Structure formats: C-alpha cells, structure tokens
Amino acid sequence: MAISVSDTMRTIRLKTFLLMIWFGAIILALGWVIGYLFGNVTLWLTIALVMALMQIWVSYWYSDKIVLASTGTHLVDRNESLEAQTLFDVVEELSIAAGLPMPKVGIMETQEPNAFATGRDPNHAVVVATRGLLQMMNREELSGVIGHELSHVKNRDILLTSMAATLALMVSYLANISWRMMFWGGMGRDRDDRGSNAIVMLIGMLLIFLAPLAATLVRLAVSREREFMADAGSAQITRNPEALASALEKLDLYGKRVPKRAASSTNPAFAELFIVNNVKGDWMTNLFSTHPSTEERIKRLRSMTVY
C-alpha cells in the first residue's frame, strides 16, 4: 500500500517527539533517585548538564571543521573536475528545490561509496560525497543521496542529534557521579531512613545502573528515525523515491560484497553522519545501530508516493 511522504514525515516527527519525552522521563527518574539517595538533586543535575553542554558545545559549533579534518575531506568548486562539477550541479539544483542556501561542497578521498552532511545550521552546512560514491552512482541516484543529506540540513538534524547526545551524556555523568558517591559513602540520607526502605534503594541503584544504557538506546533510536526522515525528505525534494532506493541498493550490495573494507574505512566516531553504516549484525547489533536496516529503508521508499 502506498504511503504519502507527508504522512510518513508526520509519523516520524511524532516518534521523535515521543523519544525525546522518554529522555526527559529518564532524567526525571534518575534525578528523583539521586535526590532520595544523596539529597541536593538540583546541584547534581546542574553539574551534569553543564558538563554535557560544554562537551557538546564544541562538537556542535565546530562540527564541520572537526569532521572535514578527521575524514580527509577537501572542499571543491565547480571547475575542479568533471566529478566535482556533477556533484556541485546536483547540490545546487536540489538546494534550490529544497529552499536552502547553497552549502559548501566537499569530496572525501576514499573508494567506499558514502556521503554525509555537517554544519550547525543551513547557513553553515557542508555536503560531502566520497570519490567512490561519485564513481558508482548515476545522476539520478546521486540526486537521491544528496536529497537525503540536504534533508538532514533542512530538518536541523545536527542540532537535534546534538541535543540527544547532550541528554545522553547528562544521564551518563549523573550515573557515574552516583556510583562514585555510593562507593565513597556519600549518601545524604541517614542510615535509619535509608534502611527503612531497602526496596526503594534497590530500585534506585538498578535505575542508576540501567539509565545510561536506556539513554543510549533512546539516542540511537532518535538517530534511526531521523534517517527515515531524511529518506522521506529526499523523496520530497527529488519527487522521486526510487532514486534513493536504487542508490541504497547499490550501497547495500557494496557492503555485502566487501564487508571488511566497508566496515574499516569509515571512522566509527562519525558513523552516525554517513548515509549508510555498513556494519552488519543481528537484532542486537541493529538495536545499537545509528541507522535502520538498509532493506527496511528501501522497502519504505518504494511504498512512498510524493502525491
């Protein structure tokens, strides 16, 4: 049954909103536990938030410079080569179609076919394709891939994923502080009071142990939903869901044919940025993946209609 792109995007926005609510619930529950066990929950929440924000602030504001330098990407202009001209033309055409300012354009010198977008907002965006992608894709398929990356830019996914990372880091810091205080004997409540409700304490300690895992799973779920969103955005921008579906088929075939090379040539630290993550695995691996399965993405794209 065909599903409209607009309905798909509305559903994904709702799922993302609900996942962010789960983040809030995890933090509130963890804050309550810390307040019960140690007291002064406001202080520790503030400390964890400040620590997470400081770390994410650098990543968010300087993400383009960090990623470009770390991946060996160089910015190109239209006249550098035939491949650069094709990439530049496709980015320019689709930027106009998406109502976005023209981003910077880069090529990453690797034969692994892949692409990513970075930058803190549409006015500071960079769209990058690997040399292998430019050699593998025809113009229609390249348009599908670039449409996906421009959708990330348009939907400010760098901001959203930075927020999710901030909340996940905050939970991790809070849990780490709590464990250290336990081992250092820093519980704020007196022994009689704590001992009178051992069950609550046990539940609290389990929550402290499990909260970082739960926060990581929610953050990764947000990332997977935004990949689905960017796929739908590509279909909307190009008016051609099959373009990206065909490109993803080629990328999936490449990953299956040369899995070791595909898995090793992408820095794991930046796996979340790329259009595909070629690390394959079972359901447990997929649960901890930054991307949904390529097969599911292709299936969804081929069920979409832009009308």
In angstroms, rounded to a whole number, what is the distance separating the alpha carbons of residues 113 and 261?
11
In angstroms, rounded to a whole number, what is the distance separating the alpha carbons of residues 27 and 170?
8
Helix (H) / strand (E) element for 98: namely helix 82-98
Is residue 278 within 8 Å of residue 111, measured between CB atoms? no
Is residue 174 within 8 Å of residue 151, measured between CB atoms? no
In angstroms, rounded to a whole number, what is the distance separating the alpha carbons of residues 139 and 255?
21
In angstroms, rounded to a whole number, what is the distance separating the alpha carbons of residues 301 and 307?
14
List, in sequence order, every beta strand (DSSP E) within the chain: 3-4, 73-75, 104-108, 115-118, 126-130, 304-305
Q: Which of 234, 294, 277 is nearest to 112 (CA)?
A: 277
To the query of whether residue 149 is one of the catalytic residues in this protein, the response is yes
2 Ramachandran zone, left/alpha/beta (phi>0; psi -120 to 50): beta
Task: Supply 253's token pair.
Answer: 């075939």
Compute and round to an integer the Cα radius of gyration of the chain: 22
In angstroms, rounded to a whole number, what is the distance separating the alpha carbons of residues 82 and 97?
23
User: Choosing from 83, 93, 112, 149, which is the catalytic residue?
Assistant: 149
In angstroms, rounded to a whole number, what is the distance separating the alpha carbons of residues 165 and 219?
7
Is residue 161 within 8 Å of residue 126, measured between CB atoms? no
In angstroms, rounded to a whole number, what is the distance separating the alpha carbons of residues 211 and 204?
10
- For the chain, the first-to-last Cα distance in angstroms comes to 14
The residue to which tokens 């009689």 are assigned: 192
- Give the active site residues: 149
